[in-house]
Homo-oligomer: A and B are copies of this chain.
Amino acid sequence: MKRESFLAVVSGPSGSGKSTVIKRVMEGIGGIWLSVSATTRPPRPGEVNGLDYIFLSEEEFLEGIERCEFVEWARVFGHYYGTPKKPLLENLARGIDVLLEIDTQGARQIRKGFGARCTTVFIAPPSLEELAARLSRRGTEDEGQVLARLEAAKMEMREGAGYDYWVVNERVEEAALDIISIIRAERCRRSVRFW
């Protein structure tokens, strides 16, 4: 069926488990391309350049901003994060939907730029207690960083109320199935209504 491709924007605080959920989503549904963000933050162990992120120097990132190469960008915890414009527009133009995993600042910019062409999904942890536990367990950051992320998470949760869909990540499989269902439903909602 003919329809317009769309942007699925997924946000959620650190510790909401959004990366794991999104990995399952991409395994479970076709016809959607996962955008790879650019960042100036150093790679964590195991992260692959070009796959998990496009790792850039601060100079390279600022040049990219200058040349309008990002559809959204933000500075979070002292590092830049941005979504490269070119591959995103190319996929949309080919009729392929695009999944973006970005923070609430970025989501606001995307909503402003793409309007009704984007659908927003917020992944929430089951509770603040569980969120704190997940952030501590990760062990890649010291206690100060964990507390800073927890504060930022509380702020993000407030912004989450404005999203189109709200998925509570209690179990990864269920949360992934929620998002797959949202993508599938959106396709029915955006279908062209004549034969």
A164 adjacent to chain B (CB < 8 Å): yes
Q: Which of A164, A182, A185, A186 has the most CB of B within 10 A?
A: A185
Is B188's CB under 8 angstroms from A178's CB?
A: yes
State whether the Cβ of A146 lies closer than 8 Å to any Cβ in chain B: no
In the complex, the answer to whether A128 meets B195 with C-beta atoms within 8 Å is yes
User: 1/0 contact trace for A158-184 toward B, CB 8 Å?
Assistant: 001100111110000000011011101
Partner among B127, B160, B184, B193 whose Cβ is within 8 Å of the Cβ of A178: B184
- Do B164 and A195 touch across chains, with their CB atoms under 8 A apart? no
Q: For the complex formed, measure the closest distance between the CB of A24 and the CB atoms of chain B, giving whole angstroms.
A: 15
Q: Are A166 and B193 in contact, CB atoms less than 8 angstroms apart?
A: yes
- Chain A interface, >50% SS class: mixed
Residues of B within 8 A of A182 (CB): 181, 184-185, 188
Count of chain A residues with a beta carbon within 8 Å of a chain B beta carbon = 27
A139 to B126, CA, bound (A): 54
Contact partner, A189, options B126, B161, B164, B177, Cβ 8 Å: B164
Q: Is A191 an interface residue (CB 8 A)?
A: yes
Is A1 in contact with chain B by the CB < 8 A criterion?
Answer: yes
Contacts of A77 in B (CB 8 A): none
How many angstroms from the CA of A182 to the CA of B127 in the assembled complex? 26
User: Which A residues are within 8 Å of any B CB, using their own CB?
Assistant: 1, 121, 124, 126-128, 160-161, 164-168, 177-178, 180-182, 184-186, 188-189, 191, 193-195
